[in-house]
Amino acid sequence: MLLKLERSNRILFLVVLAVALSFLSVFIYVLWSISFDSEDEIPTIVDDGLMIKTRNANSTTDSIILKTISKETTTPSLRTTTEMNYESHRNYHLFNHKTCGLTESIVPRIFGGKVARFLSHPWMVVLYAKINSTYKFACGGTLISENLVLTAAHCIKPRKTAWEIRKIRLGEQNLETDLDCIKLNNGSDYCADPYQEITEFEFKNWTHQNYSTYFGIEYDIGLIKLKVKAKIHQNNINTICLPFPPTKEVNSNSKLEVIGFGKTENKNSSDQLLVAKVPFISIKECNTIYKTDQFMDTHICAGNGTDTDSCRGDSGGPLLELRKVINKLKVVQYGIVSAGMEDCGKRPGIYTNVQKYLDWILENADI
């Protein structure tokens, strides 16, 4: 009887061991399926996850998995940042609050967009990467002070490390022409000042400290420090305003626009700066559309699936609005182009919410 009991226990042990090994193998497979064996591999979608793309010009390799949620799962409460007195910060004076957001042509990517009015966005910055000894357009950015460019972290630290930002241009209207001009009604040419090209800058460790190159929709913000001051006295170069108080947060009444040189509906990058209107989408609705719970108040969603959207190549560029700031109409940047579906214009674009990172920008402005 004792012998039979020992034999039964031995069989039971083997069965339990087999089941445990089976679960372990499944667990290892799942971990392997969401890992990246090389920088060029595209991550596998698991657990009905949804793959979205970062929107630099090389984003075929920069994919992010959004974990979907079941119908029973509730969206977690939104995160908020600590309120602070920005005006008392040691670096607040570094931003030109009086003349930021002003342009010679203020006007009330891009996918489904129109050519931006001449000189209407003098804060637009073009980032070039050096790939195999050739400079190629990679991302956008915005000039926020005389020597600071705001962009997406994944533009500075892309998953694919075969390229890095090596050249920056300010004051560009058309990437194909050395001197940008328009024809006036009287037949004469009106030209922008020459663009400013800068090759000396710093961005080592100038991405948010919590940014991850593999899961890059969080903390997707970075700064590039120019070693040469921007020529903001030119007619084609100026700083954009950041949404410091008393500027209100974006909402359903906001008239948002996104600008960039990125991919158009013709699947080609644009040589001319484009602008598109994109409606504000609440975070709750955005999570519902994407069937996820990963978007927080550190993001802004914009675009309603009507073929007007930011797209590949627009990464790092601004989501902006013309707002009255202290009784003067100015252009204010609320978001940074971050990610979205590869099939641009079908779901809302994902933007980094600049208002939630004002303290981080201030802290790093003088480093």
pLDDT at 237 over 70: yes
- What is the per-residue pLDDT across 340-353, written as a single tens digit (0 to 9) for each? 766 565 688 999 99
Contacts of 203 (CB under 8 A, 6+ apart): 156, 165, 222, 223, 224, 225
Of 108-112, 207-211, 266-270, the poorest mean pLDDT is in 108-112
Is the pLDDT at 310 greater than 60, yes or no?
Answer: no
Q: Are 323 and 358 in contact (CB under 8 A)?
A: no
pLDDT at 287: 93
**pLDDT score, position 228:** 93
The rounded distance, in Å, linking the Cα atoms of 175 and 273 is 8
| Confidence at residue 30, expressed as pLDDT on a 0 to 100 scale | 36
Q: What is the mean pLDDT of residues 336-343?
A: 78
Strand (E) or helix (H) holding 17: helix 2-33
70 is catalytic: no
Segment 164-190 shows an average pLDDT of 88
Q: Give the pLDDT confidence score for residue 72 in this predicted structure.
A: 39
Instruction: Report whether pLDDT(61) > 50.
Output: no
Annotated active-site residue 154? The verdict is yes
pLDDT of residue 32: 35
Active site residue 220: yes
Q: Among 19-28, 131-140, 172-181, which stretch is predicted with the lowest mean pLDDT?
A: 19-28
Between 289 and 117, residue with greater pLDDT: 289
Token pair 């009086």 is found at 98
Residue 116: which pLDDT band, with cuts at 50, 70 and 90? confident
Give the count of beta carbons closer than 10 Å to the beta carbon of residue 90. 10
At residue 332, the pLDDT reads 97
Contact of 222 with 192, CB cutoff 8 Å:
no
The stretch 238-244 carries a mean pLDDT of 97
What is the C-alpha radius of gyration for the chain, rounded to an integer number of angstroms? 24
65: confidence class by pLDDT, cuts 50, 70, 90 = very low
Mean pLDDT lowest among 39-53, 101-115, 134-148: 39-53
pLDDT tier at 52, thresholds 50, 70, 90: low
Residue of 120, 310, 315, 338 marked catalytic: 315
Catalytic, out of 62, 180, 220, 309? 220
